[in-house]
Structure 1
Amino acid sequence: MHITYETAAAPGRPYNEDYVVAGPTWAAVLDGATAPAGVESGCEHDVPWLVAQLGSALARQLATRPKESLPDIVAGAIRATMVAHADTCDLANPDSPSSTVAVLREQGGLVDYLVLCDSPIVLQRTDGTLTVIDDDRTDHLPGGRPYSRELVRASRNRPGGFWVASTAPDAAYEALTGSVEASTVSGALLLTDGVTRLVEWYGRSWDQLVTTAATAGPAELIAQVRREEREQEVPDFAKRHDDATAAWVSW
């Protein structure tokens, strides 16, 4: 596996709430959820702390437990992160900090994937087709966007709502998961929604994103996002800029 990645904070922001980690046979991308203004999370830590803790726990689990299933690994990383701040923070608070998780791993002749919340993985197959693993449950909450704070709180990590890495390790078992023969995959793209807006808002195709990552690298995807954000309108419910991360894996 050859892995390249780029991550960047939104313009004008002093910190990045995305996170990316990678090893010889795996890569993981996380996107921390920005808390709305005025929300008391019950946690003394900020979102960058959460994604750094979760990412480092994921890296440790992936490196030392290569035979465990990806849901078990993600659940273990959530538990380890909870332990890291259980003594200082209210983990029962429904607004506790949270993060998406996307993991790709090669082992035993297979490529395993896990997608929890809206950080998709795009597999490029050797026959030229793409397989998009996109957990879009946050797009299907009742009433349409913009969602109320109360609806999001009531829907997070609940059946019929959406699932995310926060203070419920069992959320890992609600992720989209699967395995494909490694011989059928030539590349894979892991993204946060700061990059997928190229597809969702700005008219690009998944094929175009994969081609750009393969030929020009992940940094070019983020450069394209920034150009579009400067020149185009964004939906009323969305931020003008967002943190953006792309990881490209090739064989």
Structure 2
Amino acid sequence: MHTAHATRPAPDTPGRANEDYVLTGPGWAVVLDGATAPAGVDSGCEHDVPWLVAHLAAALARQLTTRPDTELTGILATAIRDTMRAHEHTCDLTNPDSPSSTAAIVRERDDMLDYLVLCDSPIAIRRRDGRLLVVDDDRTDHLPGGRPYPRALVTSLRNQPGGFWVASTRPDAAEHALTGSLPAADVSGVLMVTDGVSRLVDWYGHTWEALVDVAAAEGPARLVELVRDAERKHGPREGGKTHDDATAVWLSRPSGGR
């Protein structure tokens, strides 16, 4: 598959590192979106979110490269475990506010396309017949009481049954990811985004079909431009960030190609 990506940090915090992460290899792509801890919250960890996503991405790359036949849930669980080992002797990994990340993975294996989504970094898969499969783990939109969520509620429901699951300090979170496979020959393109781009759908009235069309025709960077335009024109939804790190990856397969 041909791969193009664009990733930009939030423009309202100059100098802050981008907490999204993109990594691609032969036949696979990974998108991560690190969660920024609210001001004043003790994460129990001496590392920041960019450290976490970089180490998790590296661990995923190792697994995807050396264990190509392993289920994606097993790949992610091992990557979380490896990342934990990198700071288990310096940080309190029992702290529920430990740095965390979403995870989206796409992989071609034999004649199949495998996908995994954990938390709110969705994937839209365009089939050759024009149908669209959107894989969206929206459990963060359905916590008790409605938005804006109290900080304590989010902490209590992170990586807990009835709450939502992220890549952090529980390898078993991978078992709660949304996963599936479909024949690779039936797929013409795959769009992977962080919620800094999917807000075009969630907040600003765009459709997934429109986002895929833009990515296919103009490239993923255009989606980031559309997000920034919408943010400037309409602002955030209640309780949301004015801007966020924004990442889009477009994977395409030529007609009749592998």
Same fold (TM over 0.5): yes
Q: What do you get for the CA RMSD once the two structures are aligned?
A: 0.7
SS at match of 1:195: helix
Task: Give the Cα separation in 1 of the matches to 2:127 and 2:146.
Answer: 34
2:102 to 100, 105, 110: 100
Post-superposition shift, 1:166?
0.3
Match of 2:21 in 1: 19
Secondary structure, aligned partner of 2:102: strand
Query: Deviations 1:180-199 (Å, cap 9, x if unpaired)?
Result: 01111110000000000111
Match of 1:120 in 2: 122
TM-score, length basis structure 1? 0.99
Q: CA deviation at 1:236?
A: 2.1
- Give, in angstroms, the shift of residue 210 of structure 1: 0.3
The structural deviation recorded for 1:64 is: 1.0
1:1-251 residue pairs with structure 2 within 5 A?
1-13=1-13, 14=15, 15-251=17-253
Query: Secondary structure in 2 aligned to 1:6?
Result: strand
| Partners of 1:161 and 1:144 in 2: CA distance | 13
Partners of 1:144 and 1:181 lie apart in 2 by 38
CA distance in structure 2 between the aligned counterparts of 1:221 and 1:215, rounded to whole angstroms: 11
* Unaligned stretches of 5+ residues in structure 2: 254-258
CA deviation digits over 1:158-209, x for unaligned, max 9?
1111110000000001100000011111100000000001111111110110
Letter in 2 for 1:6: A
* Identity across matched positions, percent: 64
Structure 2 length-normalised TM: 0.96
Q: How far off is 1:231 after superposition?
A: 1.0
Aligned length: 251
